[in-house]
């Protein structure tokens, strides 16, 4: 009896091992290597394969010659065609998928595959942040310095909505040395994965620039070069109307060309995020009348959304009001803040 049970257990164990080996997905590389495991997903040109011997491994999609999966897989092609079914044998460099709905299995090049088993896309992606710097010093020196900034971005498949602003006020020994605010909004509509049209506005006040209110309304087009959780880069250009109201100088308005650059990237396994934002406007009536605003710095994630930021603000107005002291404003600040992403 014991021999029979022992033999039965051995047979069951061998059967499981054989079944596991038979049911394993297979990935063959262009160099001839063959890997087995479970195909988890392929996105952003990286294939994730779960193995029993090394956990999840990442393979550069360009190095893959063929993929065979035992379970049905979902394929998204670069033209956004979505297919779901079982893989079938085919020559290297291609995939064949039996969907059960077409008269014959669909075949396509691996180079045309955008994703395999992609993660579900959230209908609306939200990213929001707020930062603050507050200094209250009493004694031989009296200082009251406040700086706040924030931004809210909502992203759907075809649209992006951005709202943001800044507020600064500085006093030394009871005398105001800096007083300004700005707010902005941007709506972008994506024509495809990269190209988009936008409409934006920027409102700005700065007491020490003699600027009671500068209003810009613009529109144009842009190109999203990168848009990933680790790297974002976009450039845009268009036209705008600029209206400047001064406290002392004569008011001014003019049509302008505009441009913007938005860049951020996580480095060193998300230890720090480098960012640079630049917007600029140049008058179409007088090329010497232009201004730019840049925000550059490093943002350090601390704990559960808390961040520390080292930021350099640089603003240049090439033809400021005669009541303004200089063409440029610079500020180097350390900020603490909170960031939310869904």
At residue 134, does pLDDT exceed 80? yes
Indicate the domain borders of the chain.
23-116, 125-341
Between these two residues, 259 and 9, which has the higher pLDDT value? 259
**For the chain, what is the HEC assignment?**
CHHHHHHHHHHHHHHHHHHHHHHCEEEEECCCCEEEEEEEEEECCEEEEEECCCEEEEEEHHHEEEEECCCCEEEEECCCCEEEEEEECCCCCEEEEECCCCCCCEEEEHHHEEEECCCCCCCCEEEEEEEEEEEEECCCCCEEEEEEEEEEEEECCCEEEEEEEEEEEEEECCEEEEEEEEEEEEEEEECCCCEEEEEEEEEEEEHHHCEEEEEEEEEEEEEEEEECCCEEEEEEEEEEEEEEEECCCCCEEEEEEEEEEEEEEEECCCCEEEEEEEEEEEECCCCCCEEEEEEEEEEEEEECCEEEEEEEEEEEECCCCCCCCCCEEEEEEEEEEEEEEC
pLDDT digits (tens, 9 = 90+) for 254-308: 999 999 999 999 999 899 999 999 999 999 999 999 999 999 999 999 999 999 9
Residues near 293 by beta carbon (within 8 Å), at least 6 away in sequence: 278, 279, 280, 313, 314, 315
Q: Residue 117, Cβ neighbours under 10 Å: how many?
A: 18
Cα distances (Å, whole numbers) of residue 122 to 21, 35, 117, 126, 228: 35, 32, 15, 10, 14
* pLDDT > 70: percent of the chain: 93
With respect to CATH, is domain 23-116 assigned 2.60.40? no
* pLDDT > 90: percent of the chain: 73
Computed over every residue of the chain, the mean pLDDT equals 90
Confidence of residue 104 (pLDDT cuts 50, 70, 90): confident
Q: How many residues does the chain have?
A: 342
CATH of domain 125-341: 2.40.230.20
Residues near 51 by beta carbon (within 8 Å), at least 6 away in sequence: 35, 36, 37, 38, 57
At residue 50, does pLDDT exceed 70? yes
């Amino acid at each position: 009896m014991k021999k029979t049970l022992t033999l039965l257990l051995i047979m069951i164990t061998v059967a499981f091992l054989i079944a596991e080996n038979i049911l394993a997905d297979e990935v063959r590389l262009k160099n001839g290597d063959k890997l087995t495991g479970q195909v988890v997903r392929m996105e952003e040109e990286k294939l994730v394969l779960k193995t029993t011997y090394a956990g999840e491994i990442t393979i550069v999609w360009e190095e893959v010659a063929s993929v065979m999966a035992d379970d049905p897989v979902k394929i998204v092609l670069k033209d956004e065609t979505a297919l779901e079914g079982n893989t079938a044998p085919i020559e290297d460099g291609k995939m064949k998928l039996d969907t059960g709905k077409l008269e014959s299995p669909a075949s396509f090049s691996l180079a045309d595959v955008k994703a395999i088993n992609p993660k579900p896309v959230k209908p609306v992606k939200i990213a929001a942040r707020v930062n603050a710097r507050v200094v209250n010093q009493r004694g031989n020196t009296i200082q009251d310095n406040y700086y706040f900034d924030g931004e809210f971005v909502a992203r759907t498949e075809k649209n992006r909505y951005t709202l943001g602003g800044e507020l600064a006020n500085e006093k030394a020994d009871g005398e105001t040395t800096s007083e300004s605010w700005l707010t902005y909004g941007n709506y972008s509509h994506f024509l495809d994965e990269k190209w988009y049209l936008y409409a934006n506005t920027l409102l700005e006040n700065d007491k020490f620039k003699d600027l009671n209110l500068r209003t810009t309304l613009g529109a144009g087009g842009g190109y999203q070069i990168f848009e990933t959780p680790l790297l974002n880069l976009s450039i845009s250009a268009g036209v705008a109307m600029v209206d400047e109201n001064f406290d002392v100088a004569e008011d001014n308005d003019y049509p302008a060309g505009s441009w913007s650059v938005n860049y951020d990237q996580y480095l060193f396994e998300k230890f720090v995020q480098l960012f640079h934002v630049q917007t600029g406007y140049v008058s179409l009536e007088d090329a010497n009348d232009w201004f730019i605003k840049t925000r550059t710095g490093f943002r350090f994630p601390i704990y559960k959304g808390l961040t520390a930021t080292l930021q350099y603000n640089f603003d240049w107005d090439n033809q400021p009001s005669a009541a303004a002291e200089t063409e440029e404003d610079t500020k180097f600040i350390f900020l603490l803040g909170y960031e939310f992403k869904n």
